[in-house]
A and B are shown apart, each in its own frame.
Chain A
Amino acid sequence: MSIGFYSVDVKDYDGEAANHRFYTTVLTAANWAAQATARGDYNVALSAIILGTVQRQRYGIRTKVSRAAASDALAQRELKMLVQYHDDSTGEVMKPLLLPCPDLTNLDPADRSHFNIGDGDVIDAFVTAFEAYIIANYSHAVVIDELTLVGRRL
C-alpha cells in the first residue's frame, strides 16, 4: 500500500527545530505538475500563518510492505555490510552506507572480511543496480570500491 507524504521542518527564534507533516496523494508522472502546484500553494499559505522559518521540505511516496520480523535467525541488525563508494566524475570518496542483516554466505572465501565482487552472483547484481540508481553530488554516477562486513565493537 502506498501513500504520499509531505513534511516541513521549521526553525524558531532560538534555532530550535520543529516539524509539521501529513499525508498526500501518491505522486505519479501524470499528477506531478498538479501536486507540485498544490504543494507550492500550501507552502505559501503555511508561511503566512507561522513566524518560524521553513528549513526543509520533504515529500514523496511511502510504500508499506510488511510488519513481520525476518524469518531467518541469522538476520541480525548488529551485522552490517559497509558500502564504500566514490564519485565517478571527481573521485571524491562518498560517505559510506551501511546495509543491515547481510547474508554472510556471500562473503569472499579468498578475502573473508569482504563480500564477493566479481563472481557474477548476487553481490555483482547488487553492485550493478546500486551504481545505476545511486548518485553523488546531486548528479554524478558512482563506483563501489568494496563491500565489507562490519559489526559492533567487541
Chain B
Amino acid sequence: MSTLEGQYTVDWKDYDGEPTSTTFPVAALTAANFDAQEVLRAALQSALDAILLGQIQQYEQANLIVDSVSAPDDPLAQRELAIRVNYVDGTALKPHRTEIPCPDLTNLDSNARAYFAIGDGDVIDAWVTKFEAYALSEDGNAVEVQNMILKGRNL
C-alpha cells in the first residue's frame, strides 16, 4: 500500500541572503484538479507576499508517494555503490549526471567491467529507453545517455 499527498513548498531569502523555506500540506495534484489547485496556490502566494518581507526564490508544487518503509532483503543492496549516469542535453550537448543507488552488479558489462551493459537488449537498455523518454535537461530539452559507470566511495 502506498500513500499520496500534495506539497507546496516556498523558498525565501531574507535581507542578508539567508535561505528559509516552508512546506504546506495541500491536495495531491491530479489532471482533474490541476487548474483549480493552481488558482488556490496563486492566491495563497499572493497573500504570503502581502504579509512577509522575504524575497521568494522558488516554489514547488509536488506530489509525494510513500511506497514503503522497509529495507530490502538483498544484502548486496548497498548505497555505497551507485551507477553514475552520464547524459547530455540532446540539443545543447551540455553534460549532466545523475546517480542511482544500490545497483544490481550482475548488469555490469563483462567486456568493460566498470560499465553497465548498454546494447545487449536487457534491463539496462530498458532503463535507458524509459529514462530518455521521461527525463529532460535543465533547459527542458530531451537527453541522451552516454554511459553508466559503477562508482563507490573513494578508497
Contacts and interface: CB of A to CB of B under 8 A. Distances in A.
A binds B: yes
Interface residues of B, number: 92
A98 B135 CA distance: 34
Interface of A: 3-6, 10-29, 32-33, 35, 38-39, 41-42, 44-46, 48-77, 81, 94, 97-103, 106, 115, 122-123, 125-126, 128-130, 132-136, 138-139
Contacts of B46: 129
Given A32-B30, A99-B52, A52 B61 contact: no
B79 A10 contact: yes
What are the 10 closest A-B residue pairs judged by CB atoms, nearest first? A60-B62, A52-B102, A18-B101, A101-B54, A75-B53, A51-B77, A32-B31, A29-B34, A18-B79, A45-B130
B70 A11 contact: yes
Q: Is the interface of B mostly helix, strand, loop or mixed?
A: mixed
7 contacts: A19-B101, A32-B31, A38-B133, A68-B55, A76-B15, A97-B22, A133-B37
Nearest to B127: A45
Contacts of B26: 133-135
B104 interface: yes
B82 A133 contact: no
Contacts of B130: 38, 41-42, 44-46
A49 B100 contact: yes
Given A58-B62, A132-B43, A12 B79 contact: yes
A45 B126 contact: yes
B76 A65 contact: no
Given A11-B72, A24-B135, A69-B16, A103 B51 contact: yes
Contacts of B121: none
A11 B68 CA distance: 9
Given A15-B71, A41-B134, A100 B52 contact: yes
B134 A13 contact: no
B98 A22 contact: yes
